[in-house]
Every structure is written in structure tokens, then in C-alpha cells.
Amino acid sequence: MIRGLSAPEILSIWEVAQHQHPVKLALTILNMVLPELSSDELLHLSIGQRDAYLLAVREKTFGSRLASYAECPHCHERLEFSFDVADIQVQGTADGEQQHVEQLASVEGYELRFRLPNSLDLAAIAHCRELAIAHTQLLQRCIEQIERDSVAVPLEDVPEVVISGLAECMTHCDPLAEVLFNLSCPACKQEWSVLFDIVSFLWTEISVQAKRLLLEVHTLARAYGWCEAEILSLSVTRRQFYLEMVT
Ligand SMILES: [Zn+2]
């Protein structure tokens, strides 16, 4: 059962994760709220499972309503949209059960044995500048065996249609690994979809909240002489009350 982040935890994540790669940042956050999982277990969570946990952290910390914006690719109109965690949360993805299970797919007569991409895979391709190369490397890491008529086939001999069929299958097995929103521009009626990235979304919120907390500490410490730990241990209600008294 996941819990939300406390004020000291938000500050501590913000402090240590300033220059972390998003793959590492996601683990820093989960390490904090899931002490029962080892770092190794966290690394091996499928990306969809990792993101399901992050969504749960977000919900418990900042609430279930998420607001975002996108720019229309056609007329550049700024479009604001909001959604609920429940709209993207898929039943059973946060139970941590299928993470090590090998997956099987049958595409166009090819039998493929694979596992779902995890944080180690994302870290391994993080240095890749070209999307196509990153994509191939990711598949190479995740495909364990390809056979046709019980004969092993190397990845480079597999037709493109089979590879895209496999990519679809991976998305189906781990739906939260890629959350897309279909948007429609009210100004020019252009329709397009945007990728929702919980890691960067949550990081932005943590950064904003951390700076707000530090400002509150500054204000209250100056007025009352309390130390940082004392101020952060106050409930939100009490802290707000004192802030109203001094500002
Ligand atoms: Zn438009």
C-alpha cells in the first residue's frame, strides 16, 4: 500500500534529485515510499508498474486531479486539459505480480519470448541520441527468443511487421508504460495525441512544492525562531495559520 510524501521527504527528494536522470529520479521517489522493496526489485519493475506506483504517490501527495497543457501542433493554440488518476490507472497494474513473468507473443508465424522493459533497460538506452537505435537496443534487451517453425531466428532477420506487432503486444501487456491523451484543438479542430510522462510531471510538482515549503520555513523561522525540523513537523493547517499571522 503506497503512501504520500511528507514535507521533509519532498524537500529531501528535491535536494538529492536535482541533477538525476529521470530513470534514477523515479527510483529515488519510490525508494522513499516503498522501503519494503529493495533497490533491485524497484529496478526490475516494468515501466508500467513503476508508473502505476508513481501515480499512486502523486494521488496520495497532491490529490487525484491532474492538470496539464499542450500546444496545438497546427495553430500553436495553448490547450489546457485535466484528468483524474482513475482515468489512466489500470486495475491490477500496481499489484507487482507480473513483473518477472516472461511474456509470449505470436506474430505472423513468429513465436516471440520477451520480458517487459524496466528501469535498467531505460538506463541502458538513455545515452542514445537516435530514437530508432534506442528502439532497436531496447528490443534486443527485452526479446529472449524468436522462433519460426521451432527454429531460432536472429532479430535482424525478423520482418518489420513482426517487430511492430511485438511493440503493440508489449504496450498491451504493460498499458501504463505509455499513456497517450487524444486531444482536439478548439481553435482549428486539429486532432493529435500527447504522451503523458508521470516522472517529469511529478518532478515539476515536487520542485514547486519544495520551494514553497522552504519559503514557509524562512518566513516562520524569522518570525518565531523555530528550526526547520520544527516547522516542517507542523500540520499543514497549523503551518498555514501561523503563516497567516505573520504575513
Ligand atoms: Zn489548433
Instruction: Please list, in sequence order, all residues whose beta carbon lies within 8 angstroms of the beta carbon of residue 33, skipping any fewer than 6 positions away.
Output: 2, 3, 4, 5, 9, 53, 57
Distance 127 CA to ligand 1 centre (A): 34
Ligand 1 centre and the CA of 66: distance in Å? 22
DSSP, collapsed to helix, strand or coil, labels residue 55 as: helix
202 Cβ neighbours under 8 A, 6+ residues apart: 29, 54, 57, 58
Distance from Cα 185 to the centre of ligand 1, integer Å: 5
Report the C-alpha gap between 116 and 178 in whole angstroms.
12
What does the mean pLDDT of the chain come to? 92
* Stretch 66-94: mean pLDDT: 85
CA distance 79 to 71: 6
User: pLDDT band at residue 14, thresholds of 50, 70 and 90?
Assistant: very high
Q: Ligand 1 center to residue 80 CA distance, Å? A: 12
pLDDT over 60 (residue 92): no
* Banded pLDDT at 100 (limits 50, 70, 90): low
Residues with CB under 5 A from ligand 1 (ion): 72, 74-75, 77, 185, 187-188, 190
Distance (angstroms) between ligand 1 centre and the Cα of 54 equals 31
- Whole-number Å distance, alpha carbon 59 to ligand 1 midpoint, is 31
pLDDT at 25 > cutoff 70? yes
